[in-house]
Every structure is written in structure tokens, then in C-alpha cells.
Amino acid sequence: MFDLNTERLILRVMTNESATPYLKDIFELYQDKKVYEFYPDGPLSKDQAQDELNFFIKEFREKNIPCFLILNKQNKNFMGVCGFSGFSGNSIDVGYMLFENYWHQGFATECLVTLLKWGVKNIQASRIIAYTPSDHLASISVMKKSGMIYYETKISPIYNVICDYYIYFIDN
């Protein structure tokens, strides 16, 4: 297990051990209607949230592809999750999700910049992809501020909705 540290955050690799103290918070995040406003399927049930958590833990254990708990550096409070998933061919997806009370304070950008820097050095992919619905202006802003480049608009393979794709290209 390892942490990535920023000025204000600890990004702690999600394992059974690291997630256990924050399970209540994780389930609350995955069931929050405001957090899931731009997810077409809406918030997850507790069972779906547990499945998602298990998937991320397994991805790290078996493929060394991490998902992270986002913790406040000062008080260790749980703020959200971020990380990588969906490695296929020469690309991997990156994402982030924070409780609403942490929005519009630069935390998502801080997470994404850190993930991109770590991914460039540690993941054997030629591109890191983030996607968001075209009307999710805050997320688009985070991607742009993090140095991601707009690539295309197309139907999301996961949610079957029109999404803007932002690509961070990595020169290997």
C-alpha cells in the first residue's frame, strides 16, 4: 500500500485494510444523489457500492491499477475517491468523485493532476482518458486545468450517453 501526497490531500490506495475505516463514508458517497447527478444510472445501492469497491480493490491486487481514497491531509477526513480503471489496449480511464462540500475548491484538480503525473510514470499506457457528459461544465473545467486535451464527443461505452472525451496523451 502507498499514498500519494499533495499540498492538501492524501490519496491512499484503496485496499480492504485502508477502506475499512471509511466504509460508511464510501457508501454514503456512492448513494449521494447530488454526487451522481451526471451519472445516467444514478446513485448506487449499498450492494452495488460494495461491488464497485471490491472491483477496485481487486484491480489493484491483481493488476496493480490503483483507486484511491481522497483524505484531507490535516484531519484525515474522507472526501471522495479517485483513480484508474478500464485498462485496455494502450489506454486507461481516470476518474474522481468528491462529496459536494468539497466542490469548487480545487480538490478535484489537485487529485487529477497528481493522478496524471503518477500515471505517466507508473502505468504502461500511451493515453489516459477521462470522460464526462457534455453538460458537466465543472468536470470539463477540471480536466482542462489538469492539462487534458479535448479529443471528441461520442456515445459513452459505459452509460450509453453522449459524452465529451478528454485525453491526456503520454509520449512513451
Q: What is the pLDDT of residues 35-91, one digit of tens each?
A: 988 777 789 999 999 999 999 999 999 999 999 999 999 999 999 999 999 887 788
Looking at residue 37, its pLDDT comes to 86
Q: What is the pLDDT of residues 3-37, one digit of tens each?
A: 999 999 999 999 999 999 999 999 999 999 999 88
Looking at residue 172, its pLDDT comes to 34
Ordered by where they begin, the domains of the chain are: 3-125 (3.40.630.30)
Q: What is the residue type of 52?
A: E
* Residue 30 and residue 52 in contact, taking contact as beta carbons nearer than 8 Å: yes
Looking at residue 60, its pLDDT comes to 94
Backbone torsions φ then ψ of 53, nearest 5 degrees: -60, -45
* Residue 42 and residue 33 in contact, taking contact as beta carbons nearer than 8 Å: yes
Q: What is the residue type of 136?
A: H
Q: What is the pLDDT of residues 121-166, one digit of tens each?
A: 998 888 898 888 778 889 989 999 998 888 777 766 665 666 666 7
